[in-house]
Amino acid sequence: MYNDAVVTDNRNSVAVPIRCDGGGLQRRIHAVLRRLPPLDGAAVFVDRSPGLRDRRGAVHAGAFLRGRRIALDCTAGEFPRIFVHEIFHFVWLRAGNPARHSFEHLLRAERRAGAGGELGWSAEWRKLALSPADLRNRTRRWREYCCESFCDTAAWLYSGTRSHPEFTLSTRFRRARRAWFTTFVKPGLSI
């Protein structure tokens, strides 16, 4: 049986109602919120969804932006990285075009410099599927890659996960992404 609970953090103004069995999920969310920049916005509901899939197969999580819900099907060890990634889908949605275009510019510069790898598989497989026409025409594939790269970068920065096999982007480009996020992130980051 699941119990409704509200998770908040003193540094963050966001209240994240969750459904949790026992409180393990609630404790994990508290631990991750302490590492995030301060957030602001309406509640996001988080629940476990065993057997979660999309059109390509099994997935660790899904963010349902209109429903303000995150569904999770990941291990405790992967939780921080996956949860931060999903929270940042809400941030991307509310970031505004100037910020999104600025991040796209950073990714274009990486591409011109021959950067391989990424900071998560969700961005990497999309990056590998891109064609020059996708960048030139700002296709949906390009914009989806930019979003996933943004979310994977946030997960790398804020999840507390120091190393992971999916962190394949070189140090040079990681530094540039960290610098971009430093200028982007302000107190009251909107979700």
Which is it for the CA torsion 101, 107, 111, 114, positive or negative? Answer: positive
128 with 86, same domain? no
DSSP for residue 10: T
89 with 106, same domain? no
Helices (H) and strands (E) in the chain, counts: 7, 9
pLDDT tens-digit profile of 72-96?
888 889 999 999 999 999 999 999 9
**pLDDT over 90, % of the chain:** 57
CA atoms within 13 A on the CB side of 185: 17
Which two three-digit tokens encode residue 25?
């999920």
Where a domain ends, among 42, 74, 93? 93
Count of domains observed in the chain: 2
Are 84 and 29 within 8 A, CB to CB? no
pTM, 2 dp: 0.88
Are 80 and 28 within 8 A, CB to CB? yes
